[in-house]
């Protein structure tokens, strides 16, 4: 008896502390629909008066059904975060549709505030993430329609469509109302102003002119 209540307590404590360290803070009421017009800054967005909240605050019409134009790297991420859907405020979740051209990719990037779970709707994807230092192990997989893969919070990950003829489509859920994205190449070689080429030449162990060439490229984003 004593040991089973100890177990229950331990399980409860684990649950509570897990919630406390989950990506976004847990809501303290049913919802906190973002008031987009408030000039007050908080960690998140201030709540709209619950009396003024309607179903439309939780709704986004026909947004993720349409194929998207892809960019230079061959992808387009359509993210529905709290900026697009005010009802997501404080709920710790968002959703994205990702379109991949034949041989297109969602290049190596990280989400500083979210774990991502992805499923393939159409086509095939080669996906992976790299563990943190010192091991930097690549964990990768080829996904077919209906397969599911998880990218842990903060880790560098990518998706690539290996098919030269057929596009691919994925849906991803992310454990933040505002996951953020850092595309590695864009952040490192496309920062404004540029990072000193002395720094990058040493960091990447290449000639400065290689860095200058990389910095001269147009680092287009695939999130809009
Ligand atoms: C993504 O697709 C939309 C709709 O086709 C388009 O307006 C937008 O420019 C595309 N973004 C990128 C980065 O290709
Ligand atoms: C909130 O405001 C931003 C910037 O003014 C706008 O881009 C966005 O669409 C608005 N979001 C909602 C849910 O109204
Ligand atoms: C990292 O690599 C070392 C040496 O190969 C190994 O002993 C250790 O288990 C690895 N750690 C993880 C988390 O994979």
Which-ligand-closest: CA of 133?
3
* DSSP conformation letters of 46-77: PBPPGGG--GGGG---S-SSS-----TTSEEE
pLDDT tens sequence across 76-117: 999 999 999 999 999 999 999 999 999 999 999 999 999 999
User: Residue 39 pLDDT more than 80?
Assistant: yes
- Residue 166 has what DSSP assignment? -
Which residues are annotated binding-site positions for Mn(2+)? 109, 111, 116, 157
Peptide bond before 193: cis, by omega within 30 degrees of 0? yes
pLDDT exceeds cutoff 90 at 159: yes
Residue 188, H or E segment: helix 184-189
Distance CA 11, CA 57 (A): 35
Cβ atoms of residues 129 and 184 within 8 Å: no
Over residues 108-128, the mean pLDDT reads 97
Kindly report the protein residue whose alpha carbon is nearest to atom 5 of ligand 3: 135
Residues having CB within 6 Å of any atom of ligand 2: 36, 83-84, 86
Look at strands 168-174 and 116-122 and give their pairing.
Answer: antiparallel
Task: Tokens for 127, please give them.
Answer: 């996906």
Q: What is the pLDDT of residues 193-211, one digit of tens each?
A: 999 999 999 999 999 999 9
**Numbered residues of the known binding site:** 106, 109, 111, 116, 157
CA-CA distance, 128 to 165, in Å (whole number)?
Answer: 22
CA of 18 to the centre of ligand 3 (A): 25
Residues making up the annotated binding site for oxalate are 106, 111, 116
- 123 and 168 in contact (C-beta within 8 Å)? yes
Binding site membership of 69 for ligand 1 (Cβ less than 6 Å): yes
Q: Going along 1-147, which residue ranges are E strands?
A: 75-80, 94-100, 105-110, 116-122, 124-130, 138-144
Q: Which residue's CA lies nearest to atom 3 of ligand 2? A: 83
Q: At what angle do helices 197-204 and 208-215 cross, to 10 degrees?
A: 110
Residue whose Cα lies nearest atom 13 of ligand 1: it is 222
| Percent of the chain with pLDDT strictly greater than 70 | 89
163-184 pLDDT, tens digit each: 999 999 999 999 999 999 999 9
């Amino acid at each position: 008896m004593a040991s089973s209540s100890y177990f229950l307590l331990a399980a409860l404590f684990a649950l509570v502390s897990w919630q406390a360290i989950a990506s976004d803070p847990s809501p303290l009421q049913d919802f906190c629909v973002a008031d987009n017009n408030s000039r007050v800054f908080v960690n998140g967005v201030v709540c709209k008066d619950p009396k003024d909240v309607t179903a439309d605050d939780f709704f986004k019409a026909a947004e993720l059904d349409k194929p998207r134009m892809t960019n230079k790297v061959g992808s387009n991420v359509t993210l529905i975060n709290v900026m697009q859907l005010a009802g997501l405020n404080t709920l710790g979740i968002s959703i994205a549709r990702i379109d991949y051209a034949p041989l297109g990719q969602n290049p190596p990037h990280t989400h500083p505030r979210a774990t991502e779970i992805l499923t393939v709707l159409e086509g095939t994807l080669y996906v992976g993430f790299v563990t943190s230092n010192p091991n930097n192990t690549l964990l990768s997989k080829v996904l077919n329609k209906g397969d599911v893969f998880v990218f842990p919070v903060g880790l560098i990950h990518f998706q690539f469509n290996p098919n030269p003829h057929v596009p691919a489509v994925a849906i991803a859920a992310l454990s933040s109302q505002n996951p953020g994205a850092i595309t590695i190449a864009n952040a490192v070689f496309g920062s404004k102003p540029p990072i000193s080429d002395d720094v990058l030449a040493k960091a990447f162990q290449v000639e400065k002119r290689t860095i200058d060439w990389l910095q001269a490229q147009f680092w287009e984003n695939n999130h809009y």
